[in-house]
Structure 1
């Protein structure tokens, strides 16, 4: 039996925060609004994001069409890879 052992000093929360931070910087051309609430939440993506949309003014993230269809606020859908056609 093999088990994965995380690297010494590895912090999954920090790793999970680096990806959205980079995506936000790219999506906002480096000018991320100071009042933007950011969170890393564990769970099924569509459900977590749809629940997070309750009471929100806008939901920003890389989301599926299910979230866009069921969210309780406007949703901005972004992609992890830049579109070379843009």
Structure 2
């Protein structure tokens, strides 16, 4: 059986999530809860965010990175798409 990844959500991201309206925040929380079982479900990003992935919950985004060696998923940003990129 594969080991599940640990999700790391920094305090700054928690503060950003709190500012998001409840219906979208709940959807984002569900998406984050699914990450340990499928860490590569997000779309790959390019350019200055190369190596990271995104999950889209229109109009919001979750930006994260998968650390295979430490089996961790680090959430870098969560917020409206206009402010993320």
- Provide TM-score, normalisation by structure 2: 0.32
> Taking CA–CA contacts closer than 8 Å with sequence separation of 6 or more, which of the two structures ends up with the larger relative contact order?
2
- Using the size of structure 1 for normalisation, the TM-score is 0.31
